[in-house]
Amino acid sequence: MKYKMLVLDMDDTLLTDDHTISEENRKMLAQAKALGVHIVLASGRPTPAMVEYARDLGLMDSYMISFNGAVITDLKNDEVIFEQSLTQEQIHALYDYSQEKKTHIITYLDGKVISETHSEYIDVEVTITGLEHEVVPSFKERVQSSAIKCILLEEPSYLKEVETDLKATMPHLSICMSKPFFLEAAQTGIDKGASVKFLADRLNILQSEVIAVGNAGNDLSMIEYAGLGVWVANVDTHLRDKADVIVASNNDHGVAEVIERFIL
C-alpha cells in the first residue's frame, strides 16, 4: 500500500516529553515529505500553539488540524477552511456542570486561556500552549460569545468518572480525554477522525491511503478512521487494542519507526 497522508498527534506522540522533536523523527519526516506524502499535524492544541512546530518541520505548505478537529487550517494560504465552535449557551452549561462536579474549567478567547481558578492542571495547558492565562472573577461574564472548545480539569481517576457522566448528561457534545487530567468538550460531531476525513476527501486521498498516529482518547477517532491506525507505545492502557499497530514510544522515535516501516 502506498500511503499518501500521515496524520500525527503532537503531545506524547510526535513530541518527546520535553515537547521537542527528536532528530530521528525530524529526519524521517523530511524523507516522507520528499516522497510527496501529506504530513498533517493534528492536535488538541490551539492553532497558535502548533504553528511554530509546522514551520520548524517545513510544513507551511500543508494543512493542520487544531482544537481536536474543530479547526482545519490551510497553512500555505493562511486560511481556515473549517471551523466549528461551541455556542455561548453550551459553554455556560459546561461551566455550570463543572461547578456541580467540582472540576476546573477553561476555554480560549482572544488568544488566551480563560479560567476562574488556578490549578496545577491548568498550568500544564498554559505551559504546553504558551498562551497567556487570564484568571477572571466570573467565567460566564467573560465568555459572552462562542468559543472553539472547553476543557474540564481534575485529578485523573475522578475525571474518568466525570467523563462517563458528562457523555450521558450532554450526549449532543463531542467529549474525549486528551490527557488523564484533560476532559475536552467540543461541538457535535467534532473530532480528529471527522476532520481527517474532511481533509482526505478535499485532497482526493482514499481512507486506505491514510496513516494516523496517536496515543490518547482524543486520537481514537482518527486511529479508527485511518487505513493504518498506529499507537505509540505510551498509549493509554485501555486503548492498546484499538489500533492496527503499536510502535516505539514518543521518547523513542515512534513516528520515525512508522515512516521507516510503512512509507519508505
- Which tens digit of pLDDT belongs to each residue from 59-72? 999 999 999 999 99
* Of 86, 91, 48, 54, nearest in space to 70 by CA: 86
Dihedral sign computed on CA atoms, order 262, 18, 45, 72: negative
- List, for residues 78-96, the tens digit of each pLDDT value: 999 999 999 999 999 999 9
- Altogether, the residues listed in the chain come to a count of 264
The Cα diameter of the chain in Å comes to 55
Q: 194 to each of 68, 84, 155, 215, 237, how far by Cα in Å? A: 10, 12, 29, 17, 24
Give the pLDDT score at 6: 98
Q: Per-residue pLDDT averaged across 41-65, rounded?
A: 97
The pTM of the full predicted model, rounded to 2 decimals, is 0.94
Give the pLDDT score at 235: 97
Dihedral sign computed on CA atoms, order 230, 60, 183, 125: positive
Give the pLDDT score at 245: 98
List phi, psi (to 5°) of 263.
-120, -45
Give the pLDDT score at 141: 98
Give the pLDDT score at 178: 95
Q: Percent of the chain, pLDDT > 90?
A: 99
Q: Per-residue pLDDT averaged across 153-180, rounded?
A: 97
Q: Per-residue pLDDT averaged across 170-183, rounded?
A: 96
Beta bridge partners of 183: 152, 177
109-68-43 Cα angle (round to 5): 100
Q: Is the pLDDT of residue 181 over 80?
A: yes
Give the pLDDT score at 19: 95
d(CA 44, CA 71): 10
Residues annotated as part of the active site: 9
d(CA 44, CA 50): 10
Give the pLDDT score at 194: 97
In the numeric block, the cell 468559543 is attached to: 147
Which pairing describes strands 210-214 and 5-8: parallel, antiparallel, or unpaired?
parallel
Give the pLDDT score at 7: 98
- List, for residues 101-112, the tens digit of each pLDDT value: 999 999 999 999
Q: 35 to each of 21, 58, 116, 262, how far by Cα in Å? A: 20, 14, 48, 13
Q: Confidence class of residue 1 from pLDDT cuts 50, 70 and 90?
A: confident
With beta carbons less than 8 A apart as the criterion, state whether 191 and 218 touch: yes
Q: Per-residue pLDDT averaged across 172-180, rounded?
A: 96
